Structure 1
Amino acid sequence: MSVQLFADLSVFVLSLLLGFEVIGRVPTTLHTPLMSAANAVHGIVLAGALLITLSADDALGYALVFVTAAFAAMNVVGGYVVTDRMLEMFRPPRGEPR
């Protein structure tokens, strides 16, 4: 295992642990607004994953880019689905005047 790969994996594992710790401490009432507001961040992660594709030069790099892009895309789509469901609660039922 090269030093660069070990450093990259260390940063990845530490970011997973930090993200889990931060999101785990968010109160339940704030979780949905937080997730819907984080769509821009997930879009930046997706753009970053696509930029990292330029530096991938072996099968492991391509696999990691694919997994990262897939998870980032799922986060973006999921965030918009949650936002749509949240906003649906504030719309009047169909057929009723405002």
Structure 2
Amino acid sequence: MSEELFTNLAIFVLSLLVGFEVMSKIPATLQTPMMSGANAIHGVVVVGAFVIAAEANSWPFYILAFLGAFFAAVNVAGGYTVTDRMLGMFDRKPAAKQEEADHK
């Protein structure tokens, strides 16, 4: 194993551990705002996958770059969908507003 690969693997493993530790400490009330921030970060991952694709010089690297960009894009779209649904749970229903007005 080359030194560069070992360094990159060590950084990857450390980032997984730090990410897990940070995520486990966030209270449930902050999950929605944190998710929106994470979606923005995954937009950077999509750009990074494009940069890697530009540097690719063989088919396995092209396939890996495509998969990285695809999964990052799916994660961004899914994250915004889930965030929108979660925020929708806090909206009042039109019928509830009308009933409130009738009671006053």
Equivalence for 2:7: 7
Q: In the alignment, what sits opposite 2:71?
A: 71
* Residues 12 and 49 of structure 1, relative CA distance in 2, 3 Å threshold: same
* % identity of equivalent residues: 53
1:36–1:82 CA contact under 8 A, matched in 2: no
Q: Does 1:39 align with 2:32?
A: no
CA shift in 2, pair 1:31/1:45, >3 Å:
same
Q: Quickly say closer, same or farther: Cα 1:93–1:39, change in 2 above 3 A.
A: same
Could you give the per-residue CA deviations for residues 42-86 of structure 1, whole angstroms, max 9, x where no partner exists?
A: 111111111111222345533442343233212201221122112
Q: Which has the higher helix share?
A: 2
Instruction: Report the number of matched residues.
Output: 98
Structure 1 segments of 4 or more deviating over 3 A? 58-64, 94-98
SS of residue paired to 1:38 = helix
Structure 1 match to 2:101: none
Which range is displaced more, 34-43 or 57-66?
57-66
> Which is higher, the Rg of structure 1 or of structure 2?
2
